[in-house]
């Protein structure tokens, strides 16, 4: 299986790239016409493209800005890049969207537009709407700050939902198509997360509640299960 992954500098994309033996990476600034390889005719001159079996599009600017201070690169990186990637020959396109796509924030809107692009331009696709992701190559975020014992901006009664990188990989390899929500079987408050790591830190006044939508894929794990597994695997001491 030949795979192309975006967003490989960190996070899910970096981890996914290591899970496939024949995997290329697309980075911002790369030339679309360099992907994929060309098959040259023995007669010379003519060539055809060997399509990727999978394009897995993870790259995104994750922003909490509102409409009064929309970041300039938000639409360029989250929408226009998606459109350009669909032009690369492929058999199936996997787009990592977000469980927050329904929110009317600039970030949520860019995810919705990208989903529409994939649905309209790709013959076979999987759009995954995951909740918060846990894995080895995680970007610095609130969860990582909690693990390190740093103060956070969120309120203690903020409601989260966590799944693992492995859950995403299993969904991709299951050969399902369409648009699928991927979340664990229950939610968890930020205070409960802090208690799992036994940290003494200060909370902020930013409140967030994950969208309550039923998962289309049964992971058979709770948010707490995934956090405890992460702690056992990656947190020392």
Where exactly are the structural domains of the chain? 3-130
Banded model confidence at residue 39, pLDDT cuts 50, 70, 90: low
Which residue has better confidence, 213 or 35?
A: 213
| For residues 213-231, average pLDDT | 94
**92 falls in which pLDDT band (50, 70, 90)?**
very high
Of 49-63, 155-169, 213-227, the least confident: 49-63
Q: What percent of the chain has pLDDT over 90?
A: 70
> What's the pLDDT tens digit per position in 175-205?
899 999 999 999 999 999 999 999 999 999 9
Which residues lie closer than 8 Å to 167 by C-beta, 6 or more apart?
A: 130, 182, 184, 217, 219, 221, 226
* 46 burial type by CB count under 10 A (0-12 exposed, 13-18 middle, 19+ buried): exposed
Angle at alpha carbon of residue 64, lines to 61 and 67, rounded to 5°: 100
Region of 29 (left: φ > 0; alpha: ψ -120 to 50; beta: rest) is left
pTM above 0.75, yes or no: yes
Q: What is the pLDDT of residue 61?
A: 80
Q: Which residue has the higher pLDDT, 67 or 50?
A: 50
pLDDT at position 45 = 52
Q: Are 147 and 194 in contact (CB under 8 A)?
A: no
CATH annotation of 3-130: 3.40.50.720
Average of per-residue pLDDT across 17-25: 95
What does the pLDDT read at residue 32? 75
Return the pLDDT at 137.
83
């Amino acid at each position: 299986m030949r795979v192309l992954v975006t967003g490989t500098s960190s996070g899910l994309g970096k981890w996914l790239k290591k899970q496939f033996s024949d995997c290329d990476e697309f980075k911002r600034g790369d030339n679309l016409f360099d992907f994929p390889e060309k098959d040259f005719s023995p007669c010379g001159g003519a060539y055809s493209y060997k399509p990727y079996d999978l394009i897995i599009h993870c790259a995104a600017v994750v922003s909490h800005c509102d409409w009064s201070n929309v970041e300039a690169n938000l639409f360029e990186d989250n929408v226009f890049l998606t459109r350009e990637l669909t032009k690369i020959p492929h058999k199936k396109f996997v787009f990592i969207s977000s469980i927050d796509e329904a929110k009317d924030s600039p970030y949520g809107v860019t995810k919705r537009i990208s989903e529409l692009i994939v649905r309209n331009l790709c013959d076979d696709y999987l759009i995954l709407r995951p909740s918060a992701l846990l894995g080895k190559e995680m970007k610095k975020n609130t969860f990582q700050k909690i693990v390190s014992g740093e103060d956070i901006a969120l309120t203690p009664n903020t409601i989260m939902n966590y799944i693992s990188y492995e859950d995403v990989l299993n969904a991709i390899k299951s050969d399902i198509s369409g648009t699928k929500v991927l979340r664990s079987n229950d939610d968890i408050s930020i205070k409960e997360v802090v208690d799992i790591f036994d940290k003494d830190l200060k909370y902020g006044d930013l409140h967030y509640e994950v969208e309550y939508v039923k998962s289309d894929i049964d992971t058979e794990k709770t948010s707490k299960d995934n956090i405890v597994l992460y702690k056992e695997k990656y947190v020392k001491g």
